[in-house]
A = this chain, B = another copy of it.
């Protein structure tokens, strides 16, 4: 079956370049209107108070080796918010998102640090436009920041020095690029240490965004990716990263910076 699917996908990519270019023009207009109209505010009892990014990062890092990527980011916030804010945070099960590790139970899709961070963002904020903007900015940050950058005060697994640029929020590719850079295999202390530090980096950036939002100064850094549906489908604009040279390199990426 895999072979059949692969063939189908290849055929799509090689034969529909022209169609996709047409879609790109239409969707960059339609997409913006269609999605913008759908935003709305909502109520949440999970209140936010400004936190120290360094402390959120440190707690996240410490939690990683038990809770893995998604729930360790949640722990970085909830372990403080349940004391400082209380209310609904008191009983929120930090481990509810642990399944999201490794891009969903090891399937390698969305990096769990982003699922964890997005959960906190969505619970704290109260407007779909805000959650959307923060998730989008965070995906950009994750994809194009050299990581891990976090330095633990006490190293829990092993010292590491290598950093890499993921180029994507996809776990499999992100981890693979670091493994290549560091010449490490997956089931090593070094790789675990890398993911723990990346979790801290993402938790810290999320804290900076939420603190700005609490101050009323949060402003999206990037245009929503879905408003530039340049490939006629939900995606980044790094098509060649997976698709090789089958389709033309899109020229829309440089327009994404506001």
Question: Measuring CB to CB, which residues of chain A are less than 8 angstroms from any residue of chain B?
Answer: 1-3, 5-6, 8-9, 11-12, 19, 23, 26-27, 30-31, 34, 38, 40, 42-46, 66, 68, 88, 91, 93-100, 102-111, 114-115, 118-119, 121-123, 126, 128, 131-132, 134-136, 139, 144, 165, 167-173, 175-177, 179-181, 185-187, 224-226, 229, 232-236, 238, 240-242, 244, 249, 253
Contacts and interface: CB of A to CB of B under 8 A. Distances in A.
Contact of A88 (B23, B91, B128): B91
Contact of A224 (B105, B186, B226): B105
How many monomers of this protein are in the complex?
2
Contacts of A185: 19, 23, 27, 232
Contact of A225 (B2, B107, B224, B242): B107
A231 to B, nearest CB: 8
Contacts of A100: 115, 118, 135
B93 A27 contact: no
A119 B97 contact: yes
Contacts of A45: 91, 93
